[in-house]
Amino acid sequence: MAKEFNTSVTCDPKRHYMVDTTAKMKVFEGLIDKRKYFTITRARQFGKSTSLNWILWNMSDRYLVIPASFEKYSADDWSNDVNFCKYFCTKIIKACKNINDNYSAAFWEDVKMINDIDSEILSEKITDFCKECGKKVVLMIDEVDKASNNDVFVRFLGMLRNMYLEREQNGDDTYTFWSVILAGVYDVKNLKLKIRPDEEHQYNSPWNVAAEYDLDMTFNPQEISTMLNDYESDYHIGFDIKEISEEIYKYTSGYPVLVSRVCKEIDEKLDKVWTNDSVLKAVKNITVDDDFTLLDDISKNLQRHSELYDFLYDITINGANYLFSSVDPIVKMAAMFSYIKKDKNKNIDIHNLIFEDVVHTYFINEFTRKHKKVNQLFVDYIQNGDLNMEMVIGRFKEIMSERYRDRDQKFLEYHGRLLFLCFIKPIINGTGFCYFEPQTKNGGRMDLIVNYNRKEYIIELKIWRGSKYETAGKVQLANYLKQRGLDIGYLITFSFLKNKVVKEDPEWIEYEGKRILEAVI
């Protein structure tokens, strides 16, 4: 059976094209060998379950690896200690049968038959099992955060923690699980829970024994190329693997499921044409896929969490510069969902261009429902297949002058960049792609990169801060054009000073050997 790119279930190297993650998995192997308890806390479809499978497939020769999942349970399963302990036994029995360990399955069948089983009895049976089974036991529980706001489950974690601490204190004669791995989206080390009905929600640490480790689970271009090399060995297409790997990384920042999804689009829907244009087409297909739950979750979370909404708006539209902070709850939430990442200066940026495009579209659609549209699509901005950016900016300035001259300063200062996005995105939507360059997001200026028909357009969007800053903006734009190997750039300045003379029409200027179209709005 031919392999395929997988984006829905846990990856299997026998059936799916996969990135070689051996080096990353060695980190988990080292933690297990050192008998650590730890968590794998990552966003959805970030490789958690695949990592657990790697441990199962590659470490079962040395350990008894028991994989369980808490994804499905009923209210009765968690209503009291007895029901939970029986539920836990059921999960272990199923896992042991799946790995063909009849002895372990039979052991836990007997445990499940104990009518009054509770946490204390379960603890004793775990000790007996780990002492008698003949192997060091590694317990893995996936989707653990589905049960995290439950006091019975928290007591279960506390029991495992206490057994771990007792082993650490008394040595190897104290039998318990050699290693326990909890996987989920939410960080089990910091649960917000209500222990009793009459209590406020509190933060607790039932899993403060979890070992810390540093592991980037995104795929870099070199790692992406390992998957494409495997694919190329099957199809012998002859494409530039290094170039395509870098282009895929450009849009995905190595988010695992996005990498696989881009490849799947090219392989199955774009006739196996592996070019940069195909990568862009794949990306555009992904951003408008209503069935892609990862992107649908962005919309749901923006609606559920108003502070997250404001935070992402400030970053993506206003170019706000935030420091990455592990104690800021909104930063932690955005990082938990992998909507943001830490850049080399430890500032915050949107995790990848696909997420940025989806967030922009969400804000654009919401804005156009509430305010007058700024675009008029009957104007033909495409000439000979190319985007006429001079016409785009000229028409944008006209519409802003006609419709928004009476708007208050705060409205335009806050929404000016969004208004330009509302205007240009429908124009380029069928063929082009646009995004803000991270290195220019400093609140004062933002460079919008527009790709259309294999050509690149740089538009700097600035808030007027005085003549000194206006000159600095031209210097920065000219330098950036040099970096990108371009001779033409565009500068849009939003001015809100009543005494500033605004030029009627955009005009071309020469600056440091570059042609810049300047429009003041």
Share of the chain above pLDDT 70, in %: 88
| 97-101, 236-240, 359-363, 461-465: least confidently modelled range | 461-465
Whether the predicted pLDDT of 99 surpasses 50: yes
pLDDT tier for residue 185 given thresholds of 50, 70 and 90:
confident
Mean pLDDT of 260-275: 97
CB atoms inside a 10 Å sphere around CB 409: 12
Residue labelled with tokens 């031919």: 2
Contact criterion met (CB below 8 Å) for 420 and 504: no
C-alpha 59/C-alpha 189 separation (Å) is 25
Whether the predicted pLDDT of 331 surpasses 80: yes
pLDDT, tens only, 375-391: 555 578 999 999 999 99
* pTM of model > 0.75: yes
User: Residue 195 has what pLDDT?
Assistant: 39
For 17-53, b where at least 16 C-beta lie within 10 A, e where not — what string? bbbbbeebbeebeebbeebbbbbbbbbebbbbbbbbb
Question: How distant, in Å, are the alpha carbons of 12, 65, 137, 465 from that of 61?
Answer: 19, 9, 12, 66
Give the ranges where 374-517 is alpha helix by DSSP (H). Answer: 389-403, 409-428, 467-484
Please tell me the chain's helix, strand, coil percentages from 3-state DSSP, rounded to the nearest 5: 50, 15, 35
Going by C-alpha positions, the residue among 116, 125, 63 that lies closest to residue 93 is 125
- What are the E-state strand segments in 96-152? 136-142
Residue partners of 230: CB distance under 8 A and separation at least 6? 3, 17, 18
C-alpha 212/C-alpha 38 separation (Å) is 7
CATH 1.10.1740, domain 290-370, yes or no: no
> Can you give the residue ranges of every domain in the chain?
22-204, 221-287, 290-370, 383-521
User: Residue 136 has what pLDDT?
Assistant: 95
pLDDT, tens only, 405-449: 666 667 777 788 899 999 999 999 888 999 998 776 665 678 899
Pairing of strands 507-511, 514-520: antiparallel
User: Residue 186 has what pLDDT?
Assistant: 78
| 30-44, 124-138, 412-426, 480-494: least confidently modelled range | 412-426
CB atoms inside a 10 Å sphere around CB 253: 22
Whether the predicted pLDDT of 268 surpasses 70: yes
Residue 276, burial from CB neighbour count under 10 angstroms (0-12, 13-18, 19+): middle
C-alpha 51/C-alpha 473 separation (Å) is 47
Assign 3-class secondary structure to 51-94: HHHHHHHHHCCCEEEEEEECCCCCHHHHCCHHHHHHHHHHHHHH
Mean pLDDT of 268-277: 97
Residue partners of 411: CB distance under 8 A and separation at least 6? none
C-alpha 150/C-alpha 492 separation (Å) is 53
Whether the predicted pLDDT of 92 surpasses 70: yes
C-alpha 279/C-alpha 245 separation (Å) is 10
User: Residue 197 has what pLDDT?
Assistant: 45
Contact criterion met (CB below 8 Å) for 422 and 373: yes
| Greatest Cα-to-Cα distance within the chain, rounded to the nearest angstrom | 86
Residue 96, burial from CB neighbour count under 10 angstroms (0-12, 13-18, 19+): buried
The CATH classification of domain 22-204, taken from the options 3.30.1360, 1.10.10, 3.40.50, 3.40.630: 3.40.50
pLDDT tier for residue 90 given thresholds of 50, 70 and 90:
very high
C-alpha 200/C-alpha 494 separation (Å) is 47
> Which range, 8-17, 278-287, 396-405, 465-474, is most confident?
278-287
